[in-house]
Amino acid sequence: MPDYQPVPITLDPIETASAGELRALQEERLRDTVRHAYANSPHYRAAFDEIGVRPADIGGLDDLGSLPFTTKEDLRRGYPFGMFAVPREQVARIHASSGTTGQSTVVGYTAGDLRTWAKLMARSLRAAGARPGQLLHNAYGYGLFTGGLGVHAGAEELGCTVVPVSGGMTERQVRLIADFRPDIITATPTYMLAIADEMERQGIDPAGTSLKVGVFGAEPWTDELRRTLEERLALHAVDIYGLSEVIGPGVAQECLETKDGLHIWEDHFYPEIVDPASGATVPDGQFGELVFTSLTKQAMPVLRYRTGDLTRLLPGTARPMRRMEKITGRTDDMIILRGVNIFPTQIEELLLRQPALAPHFQCVRGKDGPLDTLTVTTEPAAGVSPETAADAGRELADRIKNTIGVTVAVEIVPAGSVERSAGKMRRVVDHR
């Protein structure tokens, strides 16, 4: 890791506000959001009416539980603009999910929403250790995905020099890093690994670049991958979380000085954790599905949006606002194998402890007669013989058996043959 210490900088007053001040603001904003959603969104008016709730019934955060959940299904049904709560003419920008797991979902922002988003992204980058005047290499994809443009606006807002590279063309990414000497890089953690591989291929030492901080997110990643990235690239690796339905990147951010989970910007997004099966709210500290209520969004307010992401809420540390632990996985990426629940992050954690194996892998689901199977496909690490990698693969299978309690196959494929992505890596492949 580098000895980089960002210069001290002034925070937004709300970032250091007392619990009481924060709560008062959240309650006022919640009441406004509920009134706005009921008055202007046909979806929410119908959802409230169906269960007999009126905006006046929501006096504060304690009443949140009486509001209906919002799901991805609701957004799909409203395709394309059915969830907007302002006339389309007032929507300044549209983003959309790729729709790999179903129909794409569309989100919209007023000019005011875009300003809020840029401010929160700037707050996130500042917490990550970025400072005005630094050069930021943005390798999140530009386009309908919120990563590229979201990070871009926040970096400009903070006063950075932004290099809008987008994802892909990895050879060029490496050249630009060498030539422009950025301080900060923003990318998915798996794409950062691919960039590091390309540096090595070009004979550039990944630990010798100008990079000081990597702001990695948009997909689940573990503390083991943090260690791998920090050692290999000699930078600080911090986690950034967000989702388009809520705003995009900049919903929650890990602080450079603590690296202990992500502070949720609760003055704009109110979090709850619910039991994924029953929907009952669980107390802070307990695992479950993350649910968000937007508190300031105008174009597309969301009430109790079910993210499908699994984590737990923890008290504040570097900032008073609560933290969420690194995401374990998504409910739809959970593999149930012979009654045992497995997340790709658990595999990642064990795989990265095998230095003879590359950090690239996929979980391939298959069938053996009536039985479901799981094969972890991975590659030998650079310079490792197939025989040594095969031994490490057998050891990995043993460790998976001993810690997760389930038998999987580990298949070592030639270097470069595990699928790569310039954005979100597809961890689970279903061949059943």
Q: Which stretch binds ligand DLL (CB under 6 A): 52-60, 240-248, 346-354, 392-400?
A: 240-248
289 touches ligand DLL by CB under 6 A: no
Q: Which stretch binds ligand DLL (CB under 6 A): 10-18, 170-178, 244-252, 413-421?
A: 244-252
- Residue among 176, 230, 170, 186 nearest 206 (CA): 230
Measured between alpha carbons, how far is 303 from 67 in angstroms, rounded to an integer?
Answer: 7
Tokens of 363: 């979980």
> Exactly one of 242, 271, 288, 344 binds ligand DLL (CB under 6 A); which one?
242
Site size with ligand DLL, rule: CB under 6 A:
21
Residues of span 323-342 touching ligand DLL by CB under 6 A: 327, 330
Tokens of 33: 């959001």
> Exactly one of 27, 309, 348, 379 binds ligand DLL (CB under 6 A); which one?
309
240 touches ligand DLL by CB under 6 A: yes
Measured between alpha carbons, how far is 61 from 285 in angstroms, rounded to an integer?
Answer: 18
Distances (CA, A) of 39 to 22, 86, 113: 26, 10, 18
Specify the residue, 5 or 341, whose C-beta has the smaller distance to ligand DLL. 341
Q: Which stretch binds ligand DLL (CB under 6 A): 78-86, 130-138, 215-223, 298-306?
A: 215-223
Half-sphere exposure (CA, 13 Å, Cβ side) for 210?
A: 16
Cis, peptide link before residue 80, omega less than 30° from 0: yes
C-beta neighbour count of 66 within 10 angstroms:
12
> Exactly one of 129, 167, 220, 393 binds ligand DLL (CB under 6 A); which one?
220
Specify the residue, 147 or 288, whose C-beta has the smaller distance to ligand DLL. 147
The C-alpha R_g of the chain, in whole angstroms, comes to: 22
Closest distance of CB 266 from ligand DLL, Å: 17
197 touches ligand DLL by CB under 6 A: no
Residue 28 Cα to chain centre, angstroms? 28
Contact letters for ligand DLL, residues 134-173 (x by CB under 6 A): ------x----xxx--------------------------
3-state SS assignment for residue 395: helix
Specify the residue, 258 or 373, whose C-beta has the smaller distance to ligand DLL. 258
294 touches ligand DLL by CB under 6 A: no
> Exactly one of 228, 307, 362, 378 binds ligand DLL (CB under 6 A); which one?
307
Q: Which stretch binds ligand DLL (CB under 6 A): 123-131, 175-183, 241-249, 412-420?
A: 241-249
Residue 211 Cα to chain centre, angstroms? 21
Q: Which stretch binds ligand DLL (CB under 6 A): 56-64, 161-169, 239-247, 395-403?
A: 239-247
Half-sphere exposure (CA, 13 Å, Cβ side) for 276?
A: 15
Residue 357 Cα to chain centre, angstroms? 25
Q: What is the DSSP letter of 10?
A: P
310 touches ligand DLL by CB under 6 A: no
Closest distance of CB 188 from ligand DLL, Å: 7
HEC letters along 278-327: CCCECCCCCCEEEEEEECCCCCCCCCCEEEEEEECEECCCCCCCCEECCC
97 touches ligand DLL by CB under 6 A: yes
Distances (CA, A) of 352 to 262, 263, 377, 407: 22, 26, 13, 19
Closest distance of CB 343 from ligand DLL, Å: 11
Specify the residue, 151 or 211, whose C-beta has the smaller distance to ligand DLL. 151
Specify the residue, 218 or 335, whose C-beta has the smaller distance to ligand DLL. 218
- Residue among 274, 138, 256, 124 nearest 195 (CA): 138
217 touches ligand DLL by CB under 6 A: yes
* Residues paired with residue 252 on neighbouring β-strands, in sequence order: 241, 264
Name the site residues for ligand DLL (rule: CB under 6 A): 97, 140, 145-147, 217-220, 239-244, 248-249, 307, 309, 327, 330
